[in-house]
Structure 1
């Protein structure tokens, strides 16, 4: 047995790993009954409320902050959910290997619901922050376990198709979130949080009787708990919170050169390195991020591609509206309508991608097309200015949508197929963490580029007041105020030049990042995506479920 497979996974013969690549698979889908589809339905309901929760607060937060007098805690109100959600993911992946998927999933949904109930009932800012921490712990568990449950129920080759359905539903609610947040904030901001409870409640009513998946039980709770990597998870949580703190406050509350940003980033990345040393050491009996994940060429490539893909998606979602608001004079609502070509197309493309992989079992052409179109599309965005016609920016968005749609759900199954089946949980939780981490960097990287370019070219603007408003990160928010349209014509033209130059550089950087991903695809191995199921975590027998569900 290879030494790298000893840690964090049940022992298996050497042939177990090679069979992933060499053994022929029989393309026959397993039969699926009502219980299978009820589990999928409950997952879609949970996806709906977690997706809604991630965006509905964006438009409502300013009013919530004012109502609770939490202006001084704004950065925590806005980001504690991201902190707790991202940091808990490896822990959830490991515990789901030990205790199965059912109990952690139900606990995660309960925590998510409890956190929203606390947030909705908040009477001050600290109470709301506490509620968001609790809901983030639940949300992080949901993000990991939803992917895992799909992997337990369907073979590798069909996973992208089912993940695409989930992404489609989540995206619809992500788009609806800001609109609902604005409406509810005008009536009762508490319903920004309470609105998630019915979705989660119905999902729980389905999960409790029907979400019954097999797993290898330990003889006692003591032995089960002893398998948890408490030290490693503690180091990881502290390190990632420090990194996220630096990334979120950098360029907003403090300058990037400030010690308030440098210290948490240095400490966080040092802790992250220490965490990986711990995972490879004899002290760690069962790693939450096994070293094998980073020794496998395809696995590492998939993690890098995931980071780039999700960074680019956030990049586009956050900064494409800035183009319409700054250079086209659109309101925030109108800019939301203007980005619909991207938002509407990439959802069905994600589903189509899953269907293509399920039918043909090929993924490298899809990844090449995806990152190729993303690179070309971002490069074309860099030529847009205030006079660009509608047909131009619509077609450019469609090209980018192809790029995002083709890479959104097609990477995880490849990573799983490149590893032993016993690594599915830790691989999926690591993938989920990298995906969320990509979301954070997808705002940070373009913001740094954009603000640096704006600051560099501020001397183009004659008006001192306008220069002050745009400096040190102010340009992003200034675009949505509508004040650009009220400037004198000569100053307005100068401001347009500053924005156009900053966005040109920013989109060129995005195109370069997508191009890097395009060439990285060639490092992926050609692995057969199996249609057979090789998992210890499939659905329990129907007869056993009925027996355990009957009153005694």
Structure 2
């Protein structure tokens, strides 16, 4: 009997254990189900805040602003030869594109910092004003020095880019940041097309005067004015946080002005030395060496100041908490170097070797932008569906590498291959331009977005300035050696008497075929052989420019492999929404009709943006 009771007790215990296990398994399964559901809701069902009409129009206004910027950049770079042909000043013409880049590098980070603390509305409006003024000064200039001043004035408007890239990202959700940055990139392509094809039409009709390249600057000024009107009427952001109640002047003075001064003291002489070296002065001249030494010395002082004294300045510690920030700065340095070298030298290579007519020349230059536009759309669709950027960044850098190698191998006989390499380079460029910006803005706290974006632009233009300076010096040294040597070798191979070789070389270098054919023993066939030798000399000299890009692109490619995924950061959060306005509210703000509510202003407009 006792044994039967014991058996029943054991069975009862086993039954209770089984029931407990079953209940526990059911509870765990329920918890897992709830967790999976929550994860799915977090990833796919998080409510998306509606995008206001004013936010959409503000994004479009920023796109128009950016298009105007790229129109002027194209004018100062691609149409530099036409400007020189009209007003002279070839010796100083390199400063036409470089002046605006120096201004951006020096004041861009400070303006980004000020935008974070004081708001971006009035900075954007001021940028439109400086952009329009600089374009008008360039359009009316009578000599190259005034044109350079106009380029520097425009550079102040261009330096607002850190805030300009932040505004669209702040007024939409983080999930939609890639979409607005894609819109900005397409706007930049439109700006390049306007600079190329509108400029081609103006220049082709009349190389100088007010219907030539000058008209293109006037056109850019009109774009700045229109974008300023749209921003002024529709961009009223939620005021920036100001817990201490500081005035606007106090917040401006709290920006890292010492760091900005050190940036100027380091970058200006450094870039001057790189630009002068091998062109205006020899590399071993006192002018070049002193500029490089002074620039490097102030660069060291800047590093010490930011590390030991100003820990919340231009290189604020909070921005480096996420490793993506530092990696994107490296990536934008490489991307800026590749793009600005291409913008500065591809047109020159095309004109020197393949095509000198205005409209076909602009069409060849636009091949890069066509590749960029197509790729931007494809990349955007992929990232929108997957929320992954690593694959498109790797593909982009590989395309940039392919384009650089292809251009380095270009020959005069293959007239259409450089167009293919330009398209491939454009396909590659689209990826880092858009998605490094998205990764960088997500890597920093929202209150540092303007400064971080400005530092990204500074890194981009430092890379471009250094790339242009070194490339220009290398090309000048190579072409000065190779051009007479290649032509002389062709003359000797054709059997021209040694006493006439120097005269033949001078005629071909001057592109005077008629004069070359008057030299004893020179036939039309021999003259053409000299011309082809000169084309080979240009191709052999330009290849060093494209080869310079290759190691930098490889470094950038290695860097992006360490980027952390951004999928979890693409949430529905809106960092600084715009206040929704209606046309009636705008009319009241402009005093076009009496205010309602017994003369009180509309609530959305009574609260001034900081």
TM normalised by structure 1 equals 0.82
Given the alignment, which residue of 278, 284, 290 partners 2:305?
Answer: 278
Corresponding residue of 1:31: 50
1:108 equivalent in structure 2: 127
**Structure 2 residue aligned with 1:246:** 273
8 A Cα contact 2:306 2:314, kept in partner: yes
Alignment length, in residue pairs?
A: 520
Matched, 1:208 2:247: no
Displacement of 1:86 in angstroms is: 2.8
SS in 1 for 2:208: helix
Decide whether the 8 Å contact of 1:342 with 1:400 is kept in 2: yes
Q: In 2, are the aligned partners of 1:309 and 1:407 still within 8 Å (CA)?
A: yes
Residue 313 of structure 1: how far off its partner (Å): 2.1
* Matching residue of 2:168: 150
Q: Identify the match of residue 337 of structure 1 among 363, 368, 379.
A: 363
Q: Deviations over 1:420-461 (max 9, x none)?
A: 333322211100111222222332343344444445646444
CA distance, structure 2, for counterparts of residue 501 and residue 285 of structure 1: 48
Q: Cα deviation per residue 1:109-151 (whole Å; 9 max; x = unaligned)?
A: 222223334454556766555444332212211x222101012
Tell me how far apart the structure 2 counterparts of residues 57 and 385 of structure 1 sit (CA, whole Å). Answer: 28
Pairing partner for 2:179 from 161, 181, 184: 161
Shift of 1:541: 5.6
Q: Which of 337, 341, 349 in structure 2 is aligned with 1:311?
A: 337
Answering whether residue 439 of structure 2 is matched by residue 414 of structure 1, we say yes
TM-score after normalising by structure 2: 0.75
User: Could you tell me which residue of structure 2 aligns to residue 438 of structure 1?
Assistant: 463
Asked if 1 retains the 8 angstrom alpha-carbon contact of 2:106 and 2:264, the reply is yes
Is 1:404 the counterpart of 2:443? The answer is: no
Aligned to 1:186: 208
Change (3 A) 1:389 1:241: closer
Q: 2:349 & 2:318 partners in 1: Cα distance?
A: 43
The residue that corresponds to 1:299 in the other structure is 325
1:538 equivalent in alignment to 2:556? no
Question: Residue 559 of structure 2 corresponds to which residue in structure 1?
Answer: 520
Alpha carbons 1:309, 1:404 under 8 Å: kept = yes
Task: Tell me which moved more, 120-129 or 358-367.
Answer: 120-129
**Counterpart in 2 of 1:261?**
288
Confirm or deny: 8 A CA contact 1:381 1:507 kept in the other structure. yes
SS for the counterpart of 2:564 is coil
Contact 2:475 2:545 in 1 (8 A): yes
1:216-255 superposed matches below 5 A: 216-217=241-242, 219-221=245-247, 223-255=250-282
Aligned residue number for residue 3 of structure 2? none
Unaligned runs of 5+ in 1: 1-22
8 A contact 1:297–1:524 mirrored in 2: yes
Matched, 1:97 2:116: yes
Instruction: Kindly state the Cα deviation for residue 224 of structure 1 after the two structures are TM-superposed.
Output: 1.9
From the superposition, tell whether residues 467 and 440 of structure 1 become closer, same or farther in structure 2 (CA, over 3 Å).
farther
Match of 2:190 among 165, 172, 187: 172
Q: How does 1:457-496 map to 2 (within 5 A)?
A: 457=482, 459-462=485-488, 463-464=501-502, 488-496=527-535
Distance in 2 (CA, whole Å) between partners of 1:209 and 1:229 is 31
From the CA coordinates, give the structure whose radius of gyration is larger. 2
With 297-306 and 223-232 compared, the bigger mean Cα shift is at 223-232
Shift in Å at residue 264 of structure 1? 1.7
Kept in 2: contact 1:301–1:520 (CA 8 A): yes
In the alignment, is the contact (CA less than 8 A) between 2:369 and 2:423 conserved in 1?
no
Q: Shift in Å at residue 303 of structure 1?
A: 1.1
Name the SS for the 2:385 alignment partner.
Answer: helix
Distance 1:187 1:210, change over 3 A: same
Q: Post-superposition shift, 1:358?
A: 2.5
CA contact (8 A) 2:58 2:234 kept: yes
Q: What corresponds to 1:11 in structure 2?
A: none
| 1:306 Cα deviation after fit | 1.1
What secondary structure, in the 3-state scheme, does the structure 1 residue paired with 2:434 have?
A: coil
Equivalent-residue separation in structure 1 for 2:127 and 2:532 (angstroms): 51
For the Cα contact (< 8 Å) 1:98–1:227, is it kept in 2?
no
Kindly report the root-mean-square deviation, in angstroms, between the aligned alpha carbons of the 2 structures: 3.7
- Kept in 1, the 8 Å contact 2:329–2:456? The answer is yes
* CA apart distance, 1:99: 0.6
CA–CA distance in structure 2, aligned partners of residues 262 and 33 of structure 1: 55
Aligned to 2:107: 88
Change (3 A) 1:52 1:466: farther
Structure 1 residues 29 and 273: alpha-carbon distance in aligned structure 2, compared to 1, 3 A threshold? farther
